[in-house]
A = this chain, B = another copy of it.
Amino acid sequence: MITDKIFVPVKAGRAGEEIALQIQAAILNGDIVPGEKLPSERELQCLFKTGRGVIREALQVLRQKGLIETYKGSKGGAYIKNLEVVNVSESFALFLKQSHTDPMHLIEFRESIDYIITDLAIARGTADEKSLLVRKTEALAKAVKGNGSSLETLVELDKDLNIIFAKMTHNSIFEWIMRAVQLGFSSMDNALYEDLEYRTYAVENWRNTAREIAASDPIKAKSYISYHYMILRKKVLLITNSSSLQVNDNHEQPDTDSACC
């Protein structure tokens, strides 16, 4: 549980963030371990000598960072979570969206990463992993040929394949970066897979790539990947998005400090 001296009261103009930082530091420092429960909001309110609203803002920050999970009811509260790659990936995707990064830049990055992963996957991937990769590509190919699968299912299979691929490096950073890139790509992936010609070709190319990886032939594997990105670039050039924006104005003039409605 929580020792007295871990947290100190605070009164700055940004108490919530300050408190969030203190708790975060306690988590990163190992003073609170995953699975453990934070004191209830009403207790934290006393520990930090502050109002409950401030505590809730702090917990909201931690929740958003993926550091804690909260449950309602008796025995509820904020539990320390094992940080998942998905959070930082989302952050990355958000950045890509808001900064209007050139899709071609993302493709270039993804291609570069794929080459690195290929080498590492061949060098470090176990026989089981390699055969799994091959089997998954064949499953995807079958799913594409038999038209029974939905588009979402196919895209999902493709993503899984990439994750498995990245996991073969036995370096979690590559797995994370792969998830992040895919999140940034997600809008495009759906559009691409709608094209029948593209998806039949793509899965075939995946099969070839997986086979060469299983055969530990980095040159041929990377050659297939190179071809894949050439096609990808062509297709992406055909997909253009446009967005709209509107602004306006309307105000009221309330008398009290309370809400205006």
Contact = CB atoms under 8 A, between A and B. Distances in A.
A16 B248 contact: no
Q: 3 shortest A-B CB distances, which residue pairs?
A: A30-B245, A91-B91, A1-B249
Contact of A42 (B52, B60, B98, B259): B259
Given A88-B94, A250-B4, A105 B173 contact: yes
A142 interface: no
A172 B92 contact: no
A24 B36 CA distance: 31
Contact of A95 (B17, B85, B243, B259): B85
Interface string A237-261: 0000001111111111010011111
* A interface, size bucket: 35 or more
Contact of A30 (B4, B17, B244): B244
A248 B61 contact: no
A45 B36 CA distance: 34
A116 B97 CA distance: 24
Count of this chain's copies in the oligomeric assembly = 2
A7 interface: no
A261 B43 CA distance: 9
B247 A3 contact: yes
Contacts of A252: 43
13 contacts: A2-B247, A2-B249, A29-B245, A36-B247, A42-B258, A43-B251, A43-B252, A45-B261, A53-B56, A64-B65, A85-B95, A91-B92, A105-B171
A163 interface: no
Nearest to A258: B42
B97 A28 contact: yes
A172 B65 contact: no
Contact of A46 (B16, B28, B65, B259): B259
A57 interface: yes
B67 A64 contact: no
Contacts of A33: 245, 247
A94 B21 CA distance: 12
Among A42, A97, A258, find the residue whose CB has the most chain B CB atoms closer than 10 A.
A42
A31 B95 contact: no
A213 B50 CA distance: 55
A49 interface: yes
A51 to B, nearest CB: 8
Contacts of A186: none
